[in-house]
Amino acid sequence: MTSSLIIITFNRAALLERTLAGLTRQTRRVDEVIVVDNGPTPDTERVASSFTARYVPEPRRGYGYARNRGLAEARGDVIYFLDDDCVPEPDWADVLWSVLHSGEADLASGSRTPGQPGLAARLEYLSTDGPVLSPALTAGPARHLSTSNLILRREVVAKTGCFDATLSMCEDRDYTTRARKLGFRLRYEPQARVTHYPAIHDVSEYLAKMRHYGTGTSQYFRRWRDEEPLAGLFPASPAARLLLLPALAAAGTAYLVARNLPQNPDAVPLSPLLFVGQLWWHWGGFEAMRLEQGKPC
């Protein structure tokens, strides 16, 4: 069986170069690497070409458009996704391949460990990856998976279709949820490890990321309100969400701290800063609700 690996990128040639270098050390060779450039630049094309990756420009901005272009270009029977700011361990492709071909899953995703130094990057990890993508978590069935570190069978694409390009984020969560609803088996395998180097260098960048996450997650929750347990905890109207924003942020902080323990104990002393991040997360959610109010589900 042949394999394709898709990386989507946007104006981050230095990060992409580190990711592609990590792929040269894999114990299992991937048959083709496709770099989808979501904001075509000569630097990105140069880096992709230097690693003999297939360079594909996709000027339509957005995660969904870029991932769909990658799927359209991929020739493999098995498809990997890897983010341009993630560096895989040498056995990453092999571990995911083994999970798929063991018969345990049709889609599998692995863990992410933090590689970016600094307080802001640590807060971002505790707010996003730490609770759900820690290598200390147990392997097993999953409700949804991340395309930052993913493998899936070609038949999953044939039946699930395209990523939803209308979502600003969480398009991977939406896609893998749809695949699970169609009967495909999802599995989390923490031994398939990548190191994450997010472009988060100060607190303002962390807060901007939280606002963006809040927007995308709220769009996703609106779509899957009956499917996601947490979605029912948010008010149905933007006005109520704005009014309850401090209480929602406090509850979100408590949830993050609880989910990070015991693997990330520093979530406890950092909880006041996580609370500030949750304020921005829920502000992004409020903005998404206000923009989408009145739209049909």
The CB-side HSE value for 206 (13 A sphere, CA atoms) comes to 23
Between the alpha carbon of residue 104 and those of residues 50, 121, 154, 156, 190, the distances in Å are 36, 34, 16, 15, 15
Tell me the sheet residues that pair with 195: 87, 113
Q: And the tokens for 122?
A: 């640590």
pTM recorded for the entire structure: 0.93
Which of 5, 109, 91 is CA-nearest to residue 56?
A: 5
CB neighbours of residue 42 within 10 Å = 8
- What's the Rg (C-alpha) of the chain? 19
Q: Which domains does the chain have, with CATH numbers?
A: 3-196 (3.90.550.10), 203-292 (no CATH)
**pLDDT tens sequence for the chain (297 residues):** 999 999 999 999 999 999 999 999 999 999 999 999 998 899 999 999 999 999 999 999 999 999 999 999 999 999 999 999 999 999 999 999 999 999 999 999 999 999 999 999 999 999 999 999 999 999 999 999 999 999 999 999 999 999 999 998 899 999 999 999 999 999 999 999 999 999 999 999 999 999 999 999 988 988 888 888 777 778 888 999 999 999 999 999 999 999 999 999 999 999 999 999 999 999 999 998 888 765 544
Q: And the tokens for 69?
A: 């272009």
